[in-house]
Every structure is written in structure tokens, then in C-alpha cells.
């Protein structure tokens, strides 16, 4: 079972070393983790952006960046990635299931949002398999926005 762990001195380097496949990187399916950590730092004073190392049995297998918008009642998977060495083992599904559990347990939110870059069919299928529905296409970022209610 995956666990979301706070980014610390103990796992920071491991998170930075995570990488996606060359094909995924070429298609820009997810921003580098260093960018995600910079975004989290940028918004740290707002207290609504949360980066986590994703661990399984003490090993860092991925990364997730969550965003809370209490005013809009939206919980969002801003970024998510599984290291290429661990892809195809169900970690992506386990990560999203864990986020769904957190969302459903938190009464502050009415909708869970996730998006995916055009062409990232595995992410689309993953989200749909867990009950997400397409909301819109955001041309400005070339991503489909999905909702889970």
C-alpha cells in the first residue's frame, strides 16, 4: 500500500532522481519534480499546495503534488508521477485511489480534479477507470480536465 510522505532531507534527493520514460518526457506528460517542488515553495505561504514523496515499503516510487482550493471546494491532483522503474505495477492506480479516499473523507471539498496532457492515454484510462469524468479541454495548457464527485 502506498503512503504519502512529507518531503524531507531524507527523501528530497530520491524525489529529484525520479524520472519518467523518454517517451513520456518527450511528450511533456508531467513537469520535472524540481519544478513541482519549486511551485510548492512559491505557494508555501498560501498553505494550499502539498508535495509528497510516494513510498511503498520505505522505497520512493513516485511523487504527487496536491492543491486545495477551499473557497471553490476543489481538491486537485496538480501533478503525479511514478518513476519509470515502477510503472506498470499499479502504483498510479493506488496513488489516485488514496487521493480519492482523502477527498471523500474531507467535507471541505465537493469535487476532485485531475488533468492530463493531450496524448497521455494511460492517464486518461486510469482516471476514467476510477470514476473521473471529462469536464473540459483547457487549450491554454493543452490538457483535459477531469472531475470526480
Phi, then psi, of 89 in degrees rounded to 5: -115, 5
How many structural domains compose the chain? Answer: 1
Q: So what's the pLDDT on residue 141?
A: 86
Closest CA to 3 of 102, 128, 70, 127: 102
Q: So what's the pLDDT on residue 37?
A: 96
Q: Are 127 and 96 in contact (CB under 8 A)?
A: yes
Residue 118 has pLDDT above 80, yes or no: yes
- Which tens digits make up the pLDDT trace of 49-72? 999 999 999 999 999 999 999 999
**Global pTM value:** 0.93
Extended beta strands in 70-140, E state: 74-82, 111-117, 133-138
Separation between Cα atoms, residue 26 and residue 117, nearest integer Å: 12
Question: Any idea what the CATH number is for the domain that residue 16 is in?
Answer: 3.40.630.30
Q: What domain range is 57 assigned to? A: 3-148
The band of 79, judged by pLDDT with boundaries at 50, 70 and 90, is: very high
Amino acid at each position: 500500500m502506498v503512503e504519502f510522505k512529507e518531503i524531507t532531507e531524507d527523501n528530497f534527493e530520491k524525489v529529484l532522481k525520479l524520472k519518467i520514460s523518454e517517451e513520456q518526457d518527450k511528450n511533456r506528460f508531467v513537469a520535472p519534480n524540481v519544478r513541482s517542488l519549486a511551485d510548492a515553495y512559491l505557494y508555501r505561504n498560501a498553505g494550499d499546495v502539498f508535495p509528497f514523496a510516494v513510498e511503498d515499503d520505505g522505497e520512493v516510487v513516485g511523487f504527487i503534488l496536491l492543491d486545495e482550493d477551499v473557497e471553490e471546494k476543489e481538491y486537485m491532483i496538480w501533478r503525479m508521477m511514478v518513476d519509470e522503474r515502477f510503472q506498470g505495477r499499479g502504483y498510479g492506480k493506488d496513488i489516485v485511489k488514496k487521493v480519492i479516499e482523502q477527498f471523500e473523507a474531507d467535507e471541505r471539498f465537493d469535487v476532485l480534479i485531475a488533468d492530463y496532457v493531450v496524448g497521455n492515454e494511460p492517464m486518461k484510462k486510469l482516471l476514467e477507470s476510477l470514476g473521473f469524468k471529462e469536464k473540459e479541454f483547457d487549450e491554454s495548457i493543452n490538457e483535459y480536465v477531469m472531475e470526480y464527485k
